[in-house]
Amino acid sequence: MAFYTDAEALNNNCGSSQVISLLIASFCLGDTIYNAMQEQNILDKIMQNHLDLLEALYSQRAIRYFKDQDIPNEIICRLIEIATKAPSGGNSQPWRFLVIKNQDVKNEIGKLYLQSWNQAYGSGSNGERNLEQKVMTSASYLAENIAKAPVWVMACLNHDGSDSHMGRGASIYPAVQNFLLGCMEFGLGSVITTLHKRYEKEVKELLNIPDNTETAALLPLGYLDEKVNYGPTKREPVNQITYQDSWGNPFK
């Protein structure tokens, strides 16, 4: 079993997929020596299930059920790198990402998440009445079990101290979408959640997030449980949600 640094791999004319794999780990671990063969196996699985962009876009789903299986740091790092390829206002790149694996921390935030869920979607709430039953079932399951997801990634946004506003999302949510699409390439799933923001102050204190940074999305991450899979999805037709020149004027 051979061990290489990324420079050694290039000098030894490794295959392109092996070089890519080595560079992924190099991005995360600097000059640390790592097991190239193990990384190659991971990448080979990715290559065999390669999706083209349109296929990914048309089959993306919110994933709320996960296997109890570890995720290599190299893959998490790769997903965050994919996220950072998104555009941001003035190329400011204000995003920050907090990877959360500590079970005690997940348990504490998970309690706050469940409280927020009960407030928004508990029995008799407007939220409960507005969700389809299938979505209600899976979202309720996640609310009760989010701490069991192997990894969380908290997508955050640095700011100038002004009040939060929708415009800020333009510099973080494209990155989050990149992250979600990247998950599909690795056989992983996730979903954008924001219910924790009802307890933003408490969550930031638990995670030592500074005042000039706000959380934008909590992304539970894991390999897909056997009961779920990606696409196809049902969406409203374009002609029912799109207007031309004036609101209500159909786009044809």
- Checking if the pLDDT of 52 tops 60, the result is yes
Q: Which of 27, 40, 16, 10 is nearest to 81 (CA)?
A: 27
**Model pLDDT, residue 47:** 52
**Model pLDDT, residue 56:** 87
Q: Which of 16, 154, 161, 166 is nearest to 83 (CA)?
A: 154
52-100+151-241: CATH, from 3.40.50.1980, 3.40.109.10, 3.40.50.970, 2.60.40.1290: 3.40.109.10
- Residue with more model confidence, 96 or 166: 96
- Residue with more model confidence, 206 or 165: 206
**Contact predicate 215/204, CB 8 Å:** yes
pLDDT tens, position by position, 195-232: 999 999 999 999 999 999 999 999 999 999 999 998 88
CA distance 127 to 119: 9
Which region among 46-50, 175-179, 192-196, 233-237 has the lowest average model confidence (pLDDT)?
Answer: 46-50
Percent of all residues in the chain with a pLDDT value above 70, rounded to a whole number = 75
- Checking if the pLDDT of 12 tops 80, the result is no
Q: Which of 226, 190, 204, 20 is nearest to 98 (CA)?
A: 204
What is the location of CATH 3.40.109.10 in the chain?
52-100+151-241
Gyration radius (Cα) of the chain, Å: 20
CA distance 139 to 133: 10
